[in-house]
């Protein structure tokens, strides 16, 4: 199940050309179709080795294989190898693995988290697993069950992160957070950790203190080892965040990172349906990113999300906290979403599925998202990115990571999935997204690109 995708002549430079498209700067190459498989591939995720920015690990759902697929690069995203963490199945109704997450520790050990429903039915239980390997060329271990369900009914949408700070008392600790649903349909956000490189896991700790419908957990870790977990609470129309100062053993009070107007689409919670992605509910999908760079803004906690309201989508939103979760900017202070990283020339464009990441070598904050800029019908999107070098105060005008548009409104399309991927290190961002340019022959594919900060800022 291995294959190699190379960029050929396009790999000479990180950014080979830039053009202006409808007021948006467009990056042309070197994009890579890292999946290159028949059938929908969704929910891409990506991370970078904290000690070697040339080593990248990514993953996605491989729907037609009924498997979790990994993508590995040791040359900074120029070439990739691909394989499956969970083996393909003869009958895709037998089991459904989904929601991949990836992490790499300071020793280079790699981790791949996911949930799996067996059999593949809506009434079947789902559980959280983590597979490990010692490096980018090693074989994956058999997946390890993070926590038995016990009296719970469902474990859903895990997020994984590892403490990579040499100054942290918990350096090397691996964390997984997820939504747990009891048999009485009571929701919790829980977190478990491992101190033996993923072989065994602690008993799950409850992060939240209230709420009835919780999901989309995200983890950020500070330089001193403080753990931050964010999530959505559809029952209170909010994005919430809490922190632990003892390595995930106890969590303090919840803090509101964002509030939403009532959106009258019952099955979507605080989400909304767009023409650009008609088969899915666009959720806030918060990402917690912590500046652990040791620079000017070290310790800042960023919560990025898709801002929505009863009037529709509003765009990439950002709330910024200090290390003690006192708000510095955003929804808690404004009483409304703080929309950032959008092109001021194109006021009516729609941006959604927002992802953020901090470049820990510089403290730069990157944000990427789908953007309908240039299409008056708001159905054709380009995955686009922006960067802030001043602690999230200002962002550059977005540029397109995708040179070709994607359109999930066309016949035969499925959906973009429920999140996209972004990693950044050493002045280079690595966005990863679901793309429909090859819909006719392969359906949805996973693409990635390299965006140099220097090139981005010079041409923005």
Question: Domain containing 390: what range?
Answer: 14-459
Residue 122 pLDDT: 83
Residue 230 covered by a domain: yes
Residues 6+ apart with CB under 8 A from 310: 261, 262, 263, 264
Q: What is the DSSP letter of 204?
A: P
Residues 347, 349, 353, 358, Cα dihedral to 10°: -50
Beta bridge partners of 20: 25
In a domain, 6, yes or no: no
* pLDDT value of residue 9: 26
Q: Is residue 400 part of a domain?
A: yes
What's the pLDDT score for residue 219?
Answer: 98
Give CA–CA dist 265/271, Å, rounded: 8
Q: What is the pLDDT of residue 265?
A: 75
Q: For position 21, what pLDDT does the model report?
A: 46
In 205-300, the DSSP E strands lie at: 205-206, 214-221, 227-233, 238-244, 255-259, 272-274, 277-282, 287-290
Q: What domain count does the chain have? A: 1
Residue 437 resides in a domain: yes
Query: Where residue 358 sits, what CATH number does that domain have?
Result: 2.120.10.10
- Residue 273 domain flag: yes
How far apart (Å, rounded) are the C-alpha atoms in residues 127 and 115? Answer: 5
CA 243 to CA 228: how far, in whole Å?
4
Per-residue pLDDT at 263: 67
pLDDT in tens, 274-303: 999 999 999 999 999 999 999 999 999 999
Low-confidence ranges of the chain (pLDDT < 70): 1-29, 263-264, 344, 347, 455-460
Please indicate, yes or no, if residue 422 is contained in any of the structural domains. Answer: yes
Strand order in the sheet with 24-28: 17-21, 24-28, 399-400, 382-388, 365-371, 351-358
Q: Looking at the domain assignment, is residue 7 inside a domain?
A: no
Residue 390 inside a domain? The answer is: yes
């Amino acid at each position: 199940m291995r294959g190699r995708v190379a960029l050929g002549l396009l790999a000479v430079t990180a950014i080979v050309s830039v053009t202006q498209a409808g007021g948006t700067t467009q990056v042309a190459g070197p994009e890579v179709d890292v999946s290159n498989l028949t059938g929908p591939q969704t929910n891409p995720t990506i991370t970078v080795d904290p000690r070697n920015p040339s080593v990248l690990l990514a993953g996605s759902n491989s729907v037609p294989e009924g498997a979790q697929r990994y993508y590995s690069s040791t040359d900074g995203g120029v070439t990739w190898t691909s394989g499956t963490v969970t083996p393909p199945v003869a009958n895709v109704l037998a089991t459904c693995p989904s929601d991949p997450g990836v992490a790499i520790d300071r020793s280079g050990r790699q981790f791949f988290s996911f949930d799996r429903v067996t059999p593949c039915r809506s009434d079947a239980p789902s559980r959280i697993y983590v597979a490990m390997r010692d490096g980018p060329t090693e074989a994956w271990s058999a997946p390890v069950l993070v926590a038995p369900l016990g009296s719970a009914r469902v474990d859903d949408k895990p997020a994984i992160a590892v403490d990579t700070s040499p100054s942290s008392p918990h350096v090397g600790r691996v964390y997984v957070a997820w939504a747990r649903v009891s048999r009485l349909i009571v929701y919790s956000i829980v977190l478990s950790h491992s101190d033996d490189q993923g072989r065994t896991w602690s008993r799950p700790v409850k992060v939240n203190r209230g709420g009835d419908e919780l999901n989309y957990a995200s983890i950020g870790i500070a330089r001193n080892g403080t753990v931050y977990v964010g999530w959505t609470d559809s029952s209170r129309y909010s994005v919430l965040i809490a922190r632990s100062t003892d390595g995930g053993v106890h969590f303090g009070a919840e803090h509101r990172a964002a509030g939403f107007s009532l959106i009258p689409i019952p099955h979507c919670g605080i989400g909304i349906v767009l023409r650009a992605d008609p088969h899915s509910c666009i959720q806030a999908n918060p990402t917690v990113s912590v500046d652990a760079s040791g620079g000017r803004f070290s310790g800042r906690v960023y919560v990025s999300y898709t801002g929505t309201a009863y009037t529709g989508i509003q765009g990439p939103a950002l709330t910024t906290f200090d290390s003690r979760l006192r708000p510095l900017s955003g929804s808690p202070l404004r009483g409304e979403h703080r929309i950032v990283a959008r092109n001021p020339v194109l006021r009516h464009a729609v941006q959604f599925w927002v992802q953020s990441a901090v470049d820990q070598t510089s403290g730069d904050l990157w944000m990427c998202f789908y953007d309908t800029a240039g299409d008056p019908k708001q159905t054709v999107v380009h995955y686009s990115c922006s960067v802030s070098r001043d602690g999230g105060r200002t962002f550059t005008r977005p540029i397109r990571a995708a040179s070709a548009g994607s359109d999930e409104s066309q016949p035969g399309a499925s959906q973009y999935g429920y999140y996209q991927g972004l990693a950044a290190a050493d002045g280079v961002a690595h966005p990863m997204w679901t793309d429909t340019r090859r819909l006719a022959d392969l359906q949805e594919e996973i693409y990635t690109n390299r965006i140099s900060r220097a090139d981005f800022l010079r041409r923005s």
